[in-house]
Structure 1
Amino acid sequence: MMDSNYMLFVGIDWATEEHEVCVISDSCEKQDSVRIANGANGLLDISYRLSKAVHGHLDTIAIQLSSEEMIVLREMSRLDEDLAQSRNRLTNQIREQVMRFHSDLLKLSPSADEPWFWDLLEATGDSGKVKSFSLAKVRNMLAKYHVRRHEAEDVMQAAKAKRVTVAPGTTAAAMLHIKAAIAQMRVVDEQRKQIRKEITALLGKLAATETGEDKMPDVTIILSVPGIGSSVAAMLLTEASQALAELDYRALRAYSGIAPVTKRSGKRLSVMMRQACNERLRNAIYHWCRVSIQRDDISRNKYAPLRAKGHSHGRSLRTVGDSLLRLLFSMLRHRTIHDPTRRLVVA
């Protein structure tokens, strides 16, 4: 039996064009299932049907709503991911344009995603500017961005290396594209920096305002797990809120793509990666595991033997992710933060 204060419980699968609405009673019996159009008319229709079902007593209908903070956090988390994708797109554009006329420069920054490299491109991209580019300017540029892996002489040599002979106007056209992309990249980086500050601040606010019988907030517990930072924590809290609230390990394991898919046909059996999952959640757990094997000895010691057996990087990370999910749900169940000593004893 559910909470007797309510007569009906309503679940809405929110979509772009139509919404699926399911209504069940306090005795868990299905009362209604309807598909409504997205818009004011559709919402008015379902409101009328619900009001009629409870004879106007709308306070006896339970509809679960996310808190204001969680809605804002979800949007900021998704915006951060969208900005990251925009950054990758712009980086690829810069790299492709540099390849057209001066591929040697990419030896300094193969991914072309570093701010100091953008300054170098702007200063030496046009062949006429290379002559006025001095060693002192290179040293100041490297010092400004704290770049220590390159010597000023090596950067100067790469900048003044012989370029590919191209048709007249090719370099100018490529630099026009590069400068536009760099300007956009700087805006995107500034926006991402601001969004991440706001995400961190909002997570702190959620940790301070969470109340209940359990003294330890979910945010504090999640952030204590090795490999989880503010971006991953925000993604877990917003994309997997129901699974975390219900402590449903199996649901989150499948929803995030960690659980493999087993296919059987006669004597044939195959196990493969799950494709039907939440892509945002999958990416978040991928980065969680990636950072964890770098900073957590237990995760690294679990990852290394899997790679030695010939498993791919992705499959090995998913195995590590499975163990980290079990760890997280155990911590949430017992309301404790991560303790490496206790984890070592269990392991």
Structure 2
Amino acid sequence: MINNHDEVDIFIGVDVGKSNHHAVAIDRAGKKILDRALPQDEAKIRAIIQAVAGKGTVLLVVDQPSTIGALPVAVARAEGIMVGYIPGLAMRRIADLHPGEAKTDARDAAIIAEAARSLPHTLRSIALADEQAAELSMLCGFDDDLAKQATATSNRIRGLLTQIHPALERVIGGHLDHPAMAELLIKYPSPEKIHNAGQTRVRTRLTKYAPRGGKPWSADIFAALSEQTVTVPGSGSAGIVLAQLAAMLKQLRTARNELLTQIEALVEAHPLHEVLTSMPAVGVRTAARIITEVAGKEFQSSGHLASYAGLAPVTWRSGTSIRGDHPSRKGNKTLKRAFFLSAFAALKDPLSRAYYDRKRAEGKRHNQALIALARRRCDVLFAMLRDGTLYDAPTIKTT
């Protein structure tokens, strides 16, 4: 909700774009006073805002407050103009209420301006930029990209091994998340080269990066090699590709580790660090994601935060034929994933495990119980952020 909405005289709706935006300004009576393209250029954006600002108090509303919409928001702030944004889902629903099916920048900008004027409850305020949160958002986005590439590369390695030697894939693929296996494939990227190297060299190679697992893994690898005597066509080329893929996987993991160091430094310097990490199973990456997705946003209740994260159940009611509560498929997917993975990691915490087990005993499936646990942790986190207090585990009463 935008504060001081009653004091606004001019509402500017901006439909943002990569190279050009479109701005429509209307007064409190709904009369259009501006309708033009707005280049992605600071000087021109500033000139238009200054021209409109001379007619009264101005509120500028965008449909994307970050990425391609960051410049108009920054310029408006520099000019002392109130800024806000309208969520994408609300924008689509409001657009359906307007006549016509055309999808143009001018129409979308007009809809945003009209929503800002007549539907203030659909707007969200944009808090002053948090430099640390902005940097974390960029680094976490890159980390997500690296994680996806690493997963795709790992899957490609397992696919090739399955094609040429299924038994070997069952051993190497099962431990491919360990750096030792990537190092092995860089040095010996095919079943033939592994066999020719001999068990002693393979064991030495693995033990260098996995002191505990090197010996048993090498024994399992050579046991798997003995299960297949034929050479599948394409094994030679697969060896060439596997070496490259293993090197890529190593590089991606190294990049993620280096990035994690920078993310950790930013998280530790953020005011919310101590509060967030006091909660069990909230590590560096989870804390970073909570900061990037929650910082600068206002939540009236824990239910509001849970709904934003897609953790609140959706109630379906239609007479007597459709009744029930179902998991939400909407919300902030990034935040939901962070809460879900954190809840999974929290199963090692006795209190969280007890709650999970109770939900399982009630008949909920694994994922349902995890979502319930994530929602419970979301409620606790909201209270911690609201009060600025550290996590305080309740005392378990013993009889």
TM-score range, shorter chain: 0.7 to 0.9
Asked if 1:313 is matched to 2:384, the reply is: no
Counterpart position of 1:269: 323
Q: Is the 8 A contact 1:8 1:23 kept in 2?
A: no
Are 1:238 and 2:267 counterparts? no
| AA matched with 2:374 | G
Q: 2:53 aligns with which of 32, 51, 54?
A: 51
Taking a change above 3 Å as real, the CA distance of residues 312 and 138 of structure 1, as seen in their structure-2 partners, is: same
Q: 1:306 to 1:160 in 2, by over 3 A?
A: same
Matching residue of 1:290 = 344
SS state at 2:173 partner: coil
Report which stretch shifted further, 197-206 or 103-112. 103-112
Q: Determine helix, strand or coil for the equivalent of 1:81.
A: helix
Q: Name the SS of the counterpart of 1:263 in structure 2.
A: strand
Correspondence for 1:191: 255
How many angstroms does 1:332 deviate by?
Answer: 2.3
Cα deviation, 1:269-328, whole Å, max 9, x if unaligned, reads 13222112221111111111111112x111111111222333222211110011111111
Q: Which amino acid is 2:41 matched to?
A: A
- Aligned residue for 2:128, secondary structure, equals coil
C-alpha distance in 1 between matches for 2:169 and 2:17 = 43
> Which of 156, 169, 174 is residue 222 of structure 2 equivalent to?
156
From 76, 81, 85, the equivalent of 1:61 is 81
Q: Please state whether the residue corresponding to 2:325 is helix, strand or coil.
A: strand
* Aligned: 1:114 with 2:168: no
Q: Deviation string for 1:21-60 (max 9, x for gaps)?
A: 89999xx999999896562388357524542334899755
Determine the C-alpha separation between the residues in 1 that align with 2:267 and 2:237. Answer: 45
CA distance in 1, matches of 2:301, 2:249: 40
Tell me, in whole angstroms, the C-alpha distance in 1 between the residues paired with 2:46 and 2:31. Answer: 19
CA shift in 2, pair 1:252/1:23, >3 Å: farther
Partner of 1:253: 306
Contact 2:167 2:227 in 1 (8 A): yes
Please say if residues 39 and 45 of structure 2, whose CA atoms lie closer than 8 Å, have aligned partners that are also in contact.
yes
Retained in 2: the 8 A contact 1:261–1:272?
A: yes
Query: Displacement, 1:246?
Result: 4.4
User: Any conservation in 2 of the 1:23–1:30 contact (CA below 8 Å)?
Assistant: no
Deviation string for 1:56-114 (max 9, x for gaps)?
A: 99755234431222211111111111111111111110000001111111222435333
Match of 1:329 among 337, 361, 382: 382
- Conserved 8 A contact 1:101-1:171: yes
Distance between the aligned counterparts of 1:275 and 1:49, measured in 2?
43
Which string of whole-angstrom CA distances, capped at 9 and with x for unpartnered residues, describes residues 221-257 of structure 1? 01111111111111111112244x5464222211211
* 2:232 is aligned with 1:166: yes
Say whether the 8 Å CA contact 1:11–1:23 is kept in structure 2.
yes
Is 1:129 aligned with 2:149?
A: no
Question: SS at 2:270's partner residue?
Answer: helix
Relative to 1, partners in 2 of residues 1:142 and 1:8: Cα closer, same or farther, differing over 3 Å? farther
Among residues 333, 353, 367, which one is paired with 1:279 in the alignment? 333
Task: State the TM-score, normalized to the length of structure 1.
Answer: 0.80
Structure 1 pair 292–67 and aligned structure 2 pair: CA distance change class (3 A): same
1:224 aligned partner: 278
Matched residue type, 1:330 = A
Distance 1:31 1:137, change over 3 A: farther
1:221/1:331 contact within 8 Å kept: yes
Change (3 A) 1:37 1:223: farther
Is the alpha carbon distance of 1:9 and 1:240 closer, same or farther for their aligned partners in structure 2, counting shifts above 3 Å? farther
- Kindly indicate whether the alpha-carbon contact (under 8 Å) linking 2:195 and 2:222 is maintained by their aligned counterparts in 1: no
Q: 1:93 aligns with which of 156, 159, 176?
A: 156
User: Residues 264, 221 of structure 1: CA spacing in aligned structure 2 closer, same or farther, 3 A cutoff?
Assistant: same
Question: What residue ranges of structure 2 are gaps of 5+ in the alignment?
Answer: 59-75, 84-126
**Matched-pair contact (CA < 8 Å) for 2:308–2:332:** yes
TM-score (norm 2): 0.70
Matched, 1:83 2:83: no
Shift of 1:197: 0.5
What is the aligned partner in structure 2 of residue 177 from structure 1? Answer: 241
Letter in 2 for 1:40: D
Paired AA for residue 358 in structure 2: P
Aligned equivalents of 1:252, 1:54: Cα separation in 2: 35
Residue 259 of structure 1: CA displacement?
Answer: 0.6
Q: Distance in 1 between matches of 2:189 and 2:383?
A: 55
Secondary structure, in 3 states, of the residue corresponding to 1:262? strand
Q: Percent identity?
A: 23
Structure 2 distance, partners of 1:230, 1:278, is 19
> Counterpart amino acid of 2:385?
L
- Which secondary structure does the structure 2 equivalent of 1:162 belong to? coil
Q: Contact 2:190 / 2:238 at 8 angstroms: preserved in 1?
A: no
| Corresponding residue SS for 1:108 | helix
Structure 1 unpaired stretches of 5+: 208-217
Quickly say closer, same or farther: Cα 1:55–1:125, change in 2 above 3 A.
Answer: closer
